[in-house]
Amino acid sequence: MTPRPEPADPPHSPLRTALTSLVGVRHPLVQTGMGWVAGPRLVSATAEAGALGILASATMTLPQLRDAVREVKSRTAAPFGVNLRADAGDAADRVRLLIDEGVRVASFALAPSRELIGQLKDAGVVVIPSVGAVRHAQKVAEWGADAVLVQGGEGGGHTGQIATSVLLPQVVDAMRGASIPVVGAGGFHDGRGLAAALCYGAAGAAMGTRFLLTRESTVPEAVKARYLAAQVSDITVTTKVDGLPHRMLRSEMVAALESAGRVAALLRALRHAAAFKTYSGMSWAAMLRDGRALRHGKDLSLGRVLLAANTPMLLKAAMVDGRTDAGVMAAGQVAGVIDDLPSVAELVERTVRQAAALLRELGARVSDPPPAA
């Protein structure tokens, strides 16, 4: 297949970076692929606003993903992306779907294989894996990734321990030799953060929780209210969901998971496993295989393996069903400082405008050094 030509920057972009040139969006902002949140409505609104919207596919069957991609394409002609699980049993089929449907960007929560990267690049799809360490960025760069998204510990969901302010410049420095753009994530929610990311040397900033708290987000209003009411101290990191560090809002379910004994945890995991089996149509064998893949080499109990495969149901309970008592709510630390629900267009416009104004102001403060005597 002949690769599609690289898009050029659209006119009137106040902030042009290597990311906008690579992807063909107006603004160096990315809406991350949040499960149950980043659906066609939010992604298409983000694309129309000039940023890069990423469709979350991990909670979709293959036919559902095809329908979602086509719905986004029916709503906008702007570029968008799809987030994939590289360790999914049908990853190759999903890659083929993206290629066939002409999706511009493939993002990955885990490092994709060299073969998957090559297949996507041969078809002209931009590959942007997410990483949480310098060595992971170096690995995917060697394998041919077009850019990397690096998330610091402030980010929601599965997260690491290194703050964005430390990790991001490290990855930027490491990627200079590879000459690929770096996108910063974790702790960004406004133009100050975007300007900071650019000053660190990144080509853009990615935001999850901030896009979750917009009018186009399909998260139930009661759940959005729970986020808006949260203080920074109401956001915690727990390993009791699937054995890995998860940043989320404190909730009844988090408290129950943290206080449950092994038998109760196993019974809860089995209930969620049965619910996800019904929803997804997966076999028990496939669910256990995915659960083992999600362990990332950790020695987890059977209960944790089942929860790793079925954490999506805990998220769905809150993000789709509105059950804050029965679900979990992934949240970046910025949830504690967000207090409004703008439209996506308003959010993108004000973020870019503020960042551009700050960068102009900083530039005006810098004067050339006096000539040497």
pLDDT for 287 equals 57
Task: Tell me the average pLDDT across 149-174.
Answer: 97
What distance in Å separates the CA atoms of residue 135 and residue 171, rounded to the nearest whole number? 9
Higher pLDDT, 89 or 106: 106
Q: Which residues pair with 236 in a beta bridge?
A: 248
pLDDT band at 111 (very low <50, low <70, confident <90, very high): confident
CA angle (232, 238, 239) in 5-degree steps = 160
pLDDT band at 219 (very low <50, low <70, confident <90, very high): very high
The amino acid occupying position 170 is Q
Q: Which domains does the chain have, with CATH numbers?
A: 18-219+339-361 (3.20.20.70), 231-330 (no CATH)
54, 103, 62: which is closest to 83 by C-alpha? 54
| Phi-psi domain of 280 (left: phi exceeds 0; alpha: psi -120 through 50; beta: other) | alpha
Please give the mean pLDDT across all residues of the chain. Answer: 88
pLDDT band at 242 (very low <50, low <70, confident <90, very high): confident
